[in-house]
Structure 1
Amino acid sequence: MTKPDCPWNRTEESLGNSVELQHVNLRVPDQLKATAFYISALGLTRDPYLVTGIENMWANAGVSQFHLPTGPAQRLRGSIGLVLPNREQLLHRLQTARRWLDGTLYSFEEREDHVAVTCPWGNRIRCHAPDADRFGRILLGIPYVEFDVAPGTLDGIVRFYREIVSAPAAVVDGVARVLVAPGQYLTFRETDAPQPAYDGHHIQLAFVDFGGVHAKLAERGLISQEDSAHQYRFIKLVDPDNGKLLFEVEHECRSTTHPLFMRKLVNRNPATTNLIYATGHEELAWAMPPA
């Protein structure tokens, strides 16, 4: 019996071993200014259920979060991509936030395809409008975290994620792209600019083959911390061919049995206020409606 030709490229739906980019963790020295920036300026949502005290803040962005514990400021060596649904409203919020963030490193600048925003402590965030061709169905979320890396490291980084993490990875237009969740990537861009020493910030991923990745990392002495039955960490990215250190950023690795895996997050509509209100419009959908 002749099988019918398949009209779809089935490999486009292959995800790989990493299935969740849940958060980016950056310490902040001032929770009031962090609220002014992440909640008031960017329009994100403080998690209403977990970590609601003054020592930390979880800011929801679609299916992902920023984790912002109090401490000496940390700066990600690169840029964080953020999709937000309305550029005009974003610019209004960013302008309004100047009153609370004067005297810090806070700034923003309109670019052709994004708004370049710098947080009060120097972290760079590229705010994009939704774009199905670039970011899929994301209306609100973190489509990528991009790291600045040394020249000559991209091929080794791709090998690391392919062979140790079992995540689809390739160099595309001079940038290493690693698929770590549906529509979400870690990207690595080479630069000659000198980079500051790694300061401890981290990202969190979830692995289907949780034990398999652990075994490959442990074999190379790369496990940096054993947190729980559901979680471990590593920092060093090395070339699997020769063990050469390529980059450092902590990966908080969770299993798909972790109690917080794929936890549903509340996302508010920042355009709805007590002065401009309509029942049923408080919540914001993070994805586009069906085509």
Structure 2
Amino acid sequence: MGATVSSLEGVCLGRSKKVLLDYKFKRTLDRVTSLISLEHLNVNVPAWNSELEIFWMKGLGFAADSRAEEVCNRVKAHGGSLQGLVWANAGLQQVHMPVGEPSPMESQSPPGFLGLAYSDIKALRSNLKALSIDWCEVWSQETVQLKELGPPALKVKSPTGVTFVIHAVKSLNSWLTPEGWMDQKELQEQNVSLPSSTPSVCLGIPYMRFMCPAGTAAGLARFYEEIFCTQAELKKGFGSVEECWVPVGASQWLIYREAQPGEAVPYDGYHIAIYINHFVDAYRRAKERQLVWNNPRFPNTTYDTEDLAVKHSEFRILKLVDPMSGEILCEVEHEIRAASHPGFCAKEWLGNKTESQVALNM
């Protein structure tokens, strides 16, 4: 037997008696999604040096997460190949950068870009200039418009090729949460934050936009509907190019934009992490379609059985498949986590159901 769904709403219980709590939104969303938070992008870097430190921490104003060293040591102790690890916080979202992975995985950069939000674009421009970090205007095909954000203000690329499009956020002094933009001070008082010595200047990652092969946007929408019960939107982007917009939480988006016919879309092993509700149901659907995947870089976490997935509060998918045809559309590793995963930034919002309370309802 695997995990058992309890009659207590929003809870599942594994054979190990581990409780997995769903996240209950505090307001009615204008979207249908089981995805709670698009938390991080993981991209390898060859070495951590002063150029990267200046770009990420001083230039973009990310903040070093104090948990990275412990996680790195744990992975290495189980035979993982990484030699170091940096977690850079952007509000309540992150970029993870494993250091020293072997070739050809030593450096990664997704085909696309991440949106970043700041309260003061003028100050950011001045800071980048003072640090001799180049930035440029945003091309029309790279424009993403969201009601909570100002128009794209500038574009900047990391020393290893990760591209960002910068926006001003309309809710000043706010962080992006599963509930949308909320006051930073209020969140800290509720212990909804990520550990760092100082808060990041960057206030959040409202979207990630990746390229996908021509003709796959509709199939990707069906994939998220089938596996995650999430209704993606098909939109026409710049030049009437088809895009698949996957809603996450109240305000985030995972966006796929189709490449031109015949244009290759490279995949170099980067991954994204999302938190979801109905974790066990999603695992079962992915397992049935033989999509659950173990990344050999992280030998301490495997997901061959439902009990293992529940034990780790996570599983992974590599191949995104059209459920209608069975066709492999593209590869983008998803690290899929339950809200009860210890890394979830809003654990304080999960309520106080206990294991004994769940057992009484079995």
TM-score normalized with structure 2 length? 0.63
d(CA) in 2 for partners of 1:34 and 1:180? 29
Is 1:206–1:254's contact at 8 Å kept on the other side of the alignment?
yes
Amino acid of the structure 2 residue aligned with 1:36? I
d(CA) in 2 for partners of 1:171 and 1:39? 36
* Corresponding residue number in structure 2 for 1:185: 253
* Corresponding residue number in structure 1 for 2:60: 42
Q: Decide which of 278, 285, 288 is 1:209's aligned counterpart.
A: 278
Is 2:211–2:265's contact at 8 Å kept on the other side of the alignment?
no
* Residue 206 of structure 2 corresponds to residue 137 of structure 1: no
Q: How far is the alpha carbon of 1:15 from its aligned partner?
A: 5.2
Is 1:16–1:168's contact at 8 Å kept on the other side of the alignment?
yes
d(CA) in 2 for partners of 1:86 and 1:212? 42
1:1-291 to 2 correspondences below 5 Å = 12-14=29-31, 16-32=33-49, 33-51=51-69, 55-71=84-100, 72-98=106-132, 107-111=134-138, 113-131=152-170, 137=181, 140-173=203-236, 174-192=242-260, 194-195=263-264, 197-225=266-294, 226-227=302-303, 228=308, 229=311, 230-262=313-345
Q: Select between 194-203 and 210-219 the one with higher mean Cα deviation.
A: 194-203
Q: How far is the alpha carbon of 1:191 from its aligned partner?
A: 1.6
Amino acid of the structure 1 residue aligned with 2:247? L
* 157 and 196 in structure 1: CA distance in 2 versus 1, 3 angstrom threshold: closer
d(CA) in 2 for partners of 1:232 and 1:39? 30
TM-score normalized with structure 1 length? 0.77
- Structure 2: stretches of 5+ with no match in the other structure: 1-26, 73-82, 101-105, 139-150, 183-201, 237-241, 295-301, 348-362
Instruction: Give CA deviations for 1:265-289 in whole Å, capped at 9, x if unaligned.
Output: xxxxxxxxxxxxxxxxxxxxxxxxx
> What is the alpha-carbon root mean square deviation over aligned residues?
2.4
Q: How far is the alpha carbon of 1:50 from its aligned partner?
A: 4.1
**Secondary structure of 1:214's aligned partner:** helix
Structure 1 vs Structure 2: percent identity of aligned residues? Answer: 33
**Secondary structure of 1:65's aligned partner:** strand
Is 2:38–2:248's contact at 8 Å kept on the other side of the alignment?
yes
Q: How far is the alpha carbon of 1:148 from its aligned partner?
A: 0.6
Is 1:144–1:184's contact at 8 Å kept on the other side of the alignment?
yes
Relative contact order, higher structure (CA 8 A, sep 6+): 2
Q: Select between 40-49 and 20-29 the one with higher mean Cα deviation.
A: 40-49
- Structure 1: stretches of 5+ with no match in the other structure: 1-9, 99-105, 265-291
Q: How far is the alpha carbon of 1:183 from its aligned partner?
A: 1.1
* 121 and 40 in structure 1: CA distance in 2 versus 1, 3 angstrom threshold: same
Q: How far is the alpha carbon of 1:182 from its aligned partner?
A: 2.7
Is 1:28–1:34's contact at 8 Å kept on the other side of the alignment?
no
d(CA) in 2 for partners of 1:110 and 1:11? 37
Q: How many residues align?
A: 246
Instruction: Give CA deviations for 1:115-173 in whole Å, capped at 9, x if unaligned.
Output: 111111111111111146xx963781001110111111111011111121112311123
Is 2:322–2:328's contact at 8 Å kept on the other side of the alignment?
yes
**Secondary structure of 1:250's aligned partner:** strand
